[in-house]
Amino acid sequence: MEKYAVPVAAIAENVKPITGTQWNRSLVELTGKFKGNYRHDVSPLLMQSYSEIGAFPHTYHIEGRPCKTHISSMYHSFLINAATGYASEGSRISGVGVSALEFDRQGIYLASVTRSGCLTVHDFESLYCQSNQPVPRREEDEGKHLLHISLSNSIDAVRWNPVNQDEVACTSLSHNEVHIFDIGYISSEPVEVLRKRPTVTVHGSSIRKGLTDIALFNDDTRVLASDTCGAISIWDRRVGDLPQTGLTTNANSSLTSIQLNGDQCVYGASKSGFIYIWDLRGGRSSAAFQSHKEVHSSPMTSLKLASMLNKIELLKAQSDIVAKEIQSIDINPSCPNQLGFHLDDGWSGVLDLHNFQVTHIHCPPPHWLDETNNVPILFSRKPSWLPAHSMYAVGSSSSDGLHLLDFYPHRNSPCHVDHDDMKEIFHPRKQNKLIPLSGRVTACATHPLNGTIIAGTLNRKRLMLANGICFRKLLYSWFLKSTFHGKETMMTMSIIEHFCVYSPF
């Protein structure tokens, strides 16, 4: 029998190594780990799955009577019609629409403010359940509002207190105060009001400085607010209702948006097209001057966005780049060195905070290319980052829709300034997505856990956009939490996301 046996050494010599690539699906199921670019590879599936699943108009009441936003809709109907092309050239819409939206850290509550002066706090789970009802019955239950008040002035910005999730802070361009509300109290009066110091001119009159944006530190004491004269006031709530310190741009241009990077740096965007950076830790940028018992610090650096865009050769060859208003800036939660920005002409992009260069840019077609909408409607827009995948959700400037932009920090992103289309011949082509909606988007907020998008519109609606991937992931997450008593492992969550991505809709 030995002559029929094959020696072991001979078997080993005939074995050929496997040179093919491993199947990613099996690898995820075995190891529970993703590759670094796995999320980006499945991002086209995520974009395609987003759609509008619910629309909630602001037809609310206070003590049985229609609120201010509900009433103002009748008086501003002609401005809403301007979105279809019946406005004069370059008309600017003000006083209408949803001005800002924001989820709390856990995604339980949604704060919404309108330019007519209404502050509403919604229960997200209640909204999601009502979006699954038939269209004739799809109305929001006002009894489930945690807070709905109507103020005397417009509201332009809203923020949750990151430490105390019962507190909501609001600012307005109409006055120089920060109003802080507690959703545990059903009252139209704020629990705290922070005031800006009055500015006295040579004639002795006081100049009112409206506040454009707000940010809160993680220490539950300090509050920042930017104004229309290019300064940022910083309050310490333990000391009093007047600001103790401040930041200045050394310019008179209005600041439109501010962002905090931890407790160290503050980023500000101006109407004149500059991005300012302040270092709160001191250093050479801490040279300060004192005025009205308030210390003002100059920025560490200032960046002119138009100059950085002019360094992009392909963009410079196709368009005349001039200084434009920066309407909003946001830090990418999945990549903190990316600062997203949005301009008043509809352009969006990313500023790399490591080398201070524009790495991504999205330039939608100008309005005059659209024959059905040949008149520009000027209104501010506030985009939002998705919690993962480095996607930027921003309302379209020329149509009723929402852009989902791929701002992944790599050259294979379609918006990267060094993107090469020829390298993606043998790979799935990644593209941005325009989602048609039932209204013109003015502000966006993204759920911090499941990626559901809430879009506020010019006609005061709140539109809900969800995708099958995030919905199933949410269901399986709830199942695991109830089964394993909240003890989740990285492997189980990886398998959940893998299953949700590849399972059929």
pLDDT confidence of 407, banded at 50, 70, 90?
very high
Specify the pLDDT at position 163: 92
Of the listed ranges 24-38, 175-189, 427-441, 443-457, the least confidently predicted one is 24-38
Stronger pLDDT, 175 or 102, i.e. the higher one? 102
The model carries a pTM of 0.82
When pLDDT is cut at 50, 70 and 90, the band that residue 498 belongs to is: very low
Strands 294-297 and 245-248: parallel
Helix (H) or strand (E) holding 128: helix 124-131
Q: Does an H or E element contain 78, and which? A: helix 77-81
Burial class (CB in 10 A: 0-12, 13-18, 19+), 197: middle
Q: Tell me the percentage of the chain whose pLDDT exceeds 90.
A: 44
Q: What is the pLDDT of residues 481-490, one digit of tens each?
A: 445 444 444 4
In which band, very low, low, confident or very high, does the pLDDT at 179 lie, cut at 50, 70 and 90?
very high
Mean pLDDT (whole number) for 327-349 = 95
| Contact of 327 with 257, CB cutoff 8 Å | yes
> Out of 54-68, 120-134, 367-381, which region has the weakest mean confidence (pLDDT)?
367-381
| 490-502 vs 468-483: helix crossing angle, rounded to 10 | 150
Residue 177 has pLDDT above 60, yes or no: yes
Judged against a pLDDT cut of 90, whether residue 161 lies above it is answered with: yes
Determine the pLDDT at residue 286: 45
Of the pLDDT bands very low, low, confident and very high (cuts 50, 70, 90), residue 65 is: confident
Evaluate if residue 42 carries a pLDDT over 60. yes
* Mean pLDDT score of the chain: 79
User: DSSP string spanning 448-484?
Assistant: TTT--EEEEETTSEEEEEE-HHHHHHHHHHHHHHHHT
Q: How confident is the model at residue 336 (pLDDT cuts 50, 70, 90)?
A: very high
Rounded-to-integer distance, Cα 310 and Cα 322, Å = 9
Each residue of 69-124: pLDDT tens digit? 766 665 555 444 544 444 433 444 555 789 999 999 999 999 999 998 899 999 99
Q: Looking at residue 448, what is its pLDDT?
A: 94
Residue 486: the pLDDT is: 46
- CA–CA separation, 165 vs 170, rounded Å? 14
Q: State the pLDDT confidence band at 464, using cuts at 50, 70 and 90.
A: very high
pLDDT at residue 478 in the model: 47
What would the mean pLDDT of 366-377 be, rounded to a whole number? 56
Q: Does 33 score more than 90 pLDDT?
A: no
Residues 254-285 have pLDDT tens digits of 999 999 998 889 999 999 999 999 998 865 54
Which pLDDT score is estimated for 72? 67
Cα-based distances in Å from 104 to 160, 218, 460: 6, 13, 21
Which stretch, 42-51, 64-73, 479-488, has highest mean pLDDT?
A: 42-51
Give pLDDT, residue 4: 62
Arithmetic mean of pLDDT, 158-168:
94
Lowest mean pLDDT among 211-220, 370-379, 394-403: 370-379
Q: What's the rounded mean pLDDT across residues 449-470? A: 87
Residue 21 has pLDDT above 90, yes or no: no
Q: Which two tokens stand for residue 149?
A: 């008040």
pLDDT at 38: 73
pLDDT, residue 417, reads 93
Q: Tell me the average pLDDT across 26-33.
A: 65
